[in-house]
Structure 1
Amino acid sequence: MEISAYTGFLDREGRLLAEAAEEAGLDAKVPTCPGWQVRDLVRHTATVHRWATGFVREGRTETRPMDAEGGLDGAELLTDFRAGHGALLGALESATPELDCWTFFAAPSPLAFWARRQAHETTMHRFDADSARGGTPAPVDGVLAVDGIDELLTGFHGRRRSRVRTPEPRTVHVLTTDEGASWTLRLSDGPPVAERGLSGEPDCVLSGPASKLYLALWNRVPFPEITGDARLAALWRETSAIV
């Protein structure tokens, strides 16, 4: 996906997040993030946006902790979120392709990494905000969902810190039923290894429309369909949270 496509999704999803948060009310509980109210969700996403902006705008080449979340509330908090979201968009859109800055897993370029990561960060939390106002949250774009599944499997869970592990080798197929995309996830006592496409005999198949499968893999909704050893789907639920 082109960087301009990522920033387009980031723009849209950030605006929708703010609208959903405003409509739900900052006191509303977030069903997809147990223990959080909408204000916690907005503060968290605003903090991540500003953290990412620093790497892109200043070309920071070493990791830095996120600043402590501020104490803003009410209308001021939503105004602050919108300002930070706009600043992130501006930083990404004005950055040069040669940008050199810190990232935390492989990507075609640092600029591509941050545009992609923040598009998905914002999309997932827009879904969370949508869930807080009741009704059925707006679906995730299918093309973006496929890209997000790929980022999660090959990026996040390609790192040594992934806790999705099994004592004996196991194979999971992840299959979108509407977008023609699939992955093979090999589990063992080491970090998972994901590859695009299907290979080998699976112990479990996780399948469904890309939008629903994306949300399920991020533990927001149940898996649309599980075939084979359902214990591997349960293992994913129990151990795949990003830390």
Structure 2
Amino acid sequence: MEIPEFVETLGREGRLLAAAAEKAGAEAKVVTCPGWQVRDLLRHTGMVHRWATAFVAEGHTSYHPDGGLPELDGEELLAWFREGHGRLVDTLSAAPPDVECWSFLPAPSPLAFWARRQAHETTVHRVDAESALGGEESAVATDFAVDGIDELLLGFHGRAKSRVRTEEPRVLRVRATDSPDAVWTVRLSADSPAGARGGQGEADCELAGPAARLYLALWNRLPFPSVTGDASLATLWREKSGVT
């Protein structure tokens, strides 16, 4: 996917998030994030949007702390969220392709990183907002979901801080059943996971299903569509894969 596609997705997903939050109300429980109410979701995601905007707009080339969570609530909180989301979309849309700023996962450029990361951040939290309403969540496009699985398995869980580890070497396979060649192999050990595209060799456990369902399951928003082999690796993922 290209930068404009990510920015377009970010814009749409943020509007859907705000609409769901407004309909659910600030006190509604976020089913997919136990312990959170909609107000917590808006405060967190709005803070992340402003944090990301600052890197691109102000050109911070090293880590820069976020601005903290606001005390706002109700209509004021919703307006604050929408304003920050709009500013992020506008900043990414107007930024030069060669903008220099800090980022924390491999990407073709800092701008590509932030557009991609915020599109996925906002999509997952849109699902959270919709969970407060009950019923089915809005659809996630297959190609976007495949990209999100890539980011999670090869990006986030390629870092030393990943806690998905095993005492003995194990192999986890992840397979999107509705996208050709969307297969990943993650080698687990006492070190950080080593993931790669492709499905060569034997696996101890395979997590499979349509890309959109698998994407949300890997972000611990839905059950895994299918687990074959050693289910303890699916449990390990559930318990240890949270990203901070």
Aligned mates of 2:37, 2:100 — CA distance in 1: 36
Deviations 1:110-161 (A, max 9, x none): 0000000000000000000001011111121111111000000011000000
Aligned length: 243
Residue identity (%): 63
User: In the alignment, does 2:146 pair up with 1:146?
Assistant: yes
Match of 1:131 in 2: 131
Question: Residue 85 of structure 1 aligns to which amino acid in structure 2?
Answer: H
2:201 and 2:65 map into 1 onto residues whose CA distance is: 41
2:91 aligned partner = 91
Q: What code does the residue aligned with 1:224 have?
A: P
Q: CA deviation at 1:65?
A: 1.6
Shift of 1:66: 1.3
Structure 1 unpaired stretches of 5+: none
For 2:236, what is the secondary structure of its paired residue?
A: helix
| 1:89 shift after superposition | 0.5
Give the Cα separation in 2 of the matches to 1:41 and 1:179.
Answer: 31
**C-alpha distance in 2 between matches for 1:8 and 1:37:** 27
Q: Partner letter of residue 138 of structure 1?
A: S
Question: RMSD across aligned C-alpha pairs, in angstroms?
Answer: 0.7
Give the TM-score normalised by the residue count of structure 1.
0.99
Q: Deviations over 1:146-183 (max 9, x none)?
A: 10000000110000000000111111110001012111
Instruction: Provide the C-alpha distance between the structure 1 equivalents of 2:131 and 2:147, rounded to a whole number of angstroms.
Output: 22
Moved more, 202-211 or 136-145: 136-145
Task: Kindly report structure 1 stretches of 4+ aligned residues shifted beyond 4 Å.
Answer: none
Q: Distance in 1 between matches of 2:135 and 2:157?
A: 32
Instruction: Report the residue type matching 1:68 in the other structure.
Output: G
CA distance in 2, matches of 1:197, 1:9: 27
Name the counterpart of 2:33.
33
How big is each residue's C-alpha offset from its partner over 1:51-92, in whole Å with a ceiling of 9 and x where there is no partner? 000001111001012111011111111111111001001110
Counterpart of 2:167 in structure 1 is: 167
In 1: Cα distance, 2:30 partner to 2:184 partner: 30
Taking the aligned partners of 1:169 and 1:5, their CA distance within structure 2 comes to 38
- Equivalence map 1:1-243=2 (5 Å): 1-180=1-180, 181-243=182-244
The CA deviation at 1:220 is 0.6
Q: Within 1, Cα distance between the matches of 2:3 and 2:179?
A: 21
Q: TM-score, normalised by structure 2?
A: 0.98
Look up the SS of the partner of 1:223 in the other structure.
coil
Deviations 1:15-62 (A, max 9, x none): 000000000111100000000000000110000000000001111001
